C-alpha cells in the first residue's frame, strides 16, 4: 500500500489573530514544518483587516504549497459579536484556500479536541500538550492560536480516516441489506407465476 505523503495547512480563524500551522504527513508520521499567527489591529478598518488575512494566508499557501487544509468552524457562544467577527476572518482565509484549489475540511472545536486528545471536552492546555507530543516538538507552540491551527491540521488526517471507515461500513451495510433482501425475496422461476395474456378478436394483446 502506498503511503500518504502530503502537506496540510491548519487554520484557527480570528479577526485579531488568525493562527496557521503547516504539518507534513508521511503515512502515519506527522511532523511540524512551520507555524505562526496573522495579527490585525482593532484600529484598522475592517475591510483592510480582512484583506491582510486573505493576502497573508495566500502567501503562506504559496510558500509551503499544502494540498489540503483543516479549518476550525465558528463556535457561537454568548458573545455573538465576536463570533461574527471570527466568521468574517474565516471567510477571508477560506477564499485564499479556494483560490489555490485546496481540499478543505471544516471541524468544530469538539471534533478537533476529540481527534487530538481523545475527548471532545478537553481543556486548551491538554490540546497544546498533545500537539507537542504528536508533532514531536521541543516546546508547546506559541501563540496558542498557532497551536490550535496545528491541531486543526492533525484533525484533518484523523477525521479523514474516520470518514473513510464510515463510508466502508455504510457500503458493507448496503451489501448485507441487499443480500438479505434477495434471500427473503427469491426469484427462482418456480416461485414466479407466469403472466397470462388473452388475444381478443381485434388482434391486440391485453393482460
Name the residues annotated as catalytic: 12, 72, 145
Pairwise CA distance, residues 156 & 121, whole Å: 18
Annotated binding-site residue? 142? no
Annotated binding-site residue? 72? yes
CA-wise closest residue to 108 among 143, 148, 137, 146: 148
Query: Do you find a cis peptide bond into 53, omega within 30 degrees of 0?
Result: no
Annotated binding-site residue? 106? no
What is the grid cell recorded at 22?
Answer: 503547516
Residues 6+ away with beta carbon under 8 Å from 62 = 100
Q: Which residues fall in the annotated binding site for Mg(2+)?
A: 12, 72, 145
Q: Which residues fall in the annotated binding site?
A: 12, 72, 145
Amino acid at each position: 500500500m502506498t503511503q500518504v505523503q502530503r502537506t496540510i495547512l491548519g487554520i484557527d480563524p480570528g479577526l485579531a489573530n488568525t493562527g496557521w500551522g503547516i504539518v507534513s504527513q508521511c503515512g502515519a508520521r506527522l511532523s511540524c514544518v512551520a507555524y505562526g499567527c496573522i495579527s490585525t489591529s482593532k484600529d484598522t478598518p475592517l475591510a483592510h483587516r480582512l484583506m491582510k488575512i486573505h493576502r497573508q494566508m495566500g502567501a503562506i499557501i504559496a510558500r509551503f504549497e499544502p494540498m489540503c487544509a483543516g479549518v476550525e468552524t465558528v463556535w457561537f457562544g454568548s458573545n455573538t459579536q465576536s463570533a461574527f467577527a471570527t466568521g468574517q476572518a474565516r471567510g477571508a482565509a477560506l477564499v485564499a484556500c479556494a483560490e489555490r484549489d485546496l481540499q478543505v475540511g471544516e471541524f468544530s472545536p469538539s471534533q478537533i479536541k476529540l481527534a487530538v486528545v481523545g475527548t471532545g471536552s478537553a481543556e486548551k492546555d491538554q490540546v497544546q500538550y498533545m500537539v507537542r507530543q504528536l508533532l514531536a516538538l521541543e516546546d508547546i507552540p506559541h501563540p496558542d492560536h498557532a497551536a490550535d491551527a496545528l491541531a486543526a491540521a492533525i484533525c484533518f488526517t484523523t477525521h479523514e480516516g474516520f470518514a473513510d471507515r464510515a463510508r466502508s461500513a455504510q457500503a458493507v451495510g448496503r451489501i448485507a441489506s441487499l443480500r438479505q433482501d434477495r434471500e427473503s425475496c427469491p426469484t427462482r422461476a418456480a416461485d414466479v407465476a407466469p403472466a397470462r395474456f388473452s388475444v381478443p378478436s381485434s388482434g391486440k394483446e391485453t393482460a
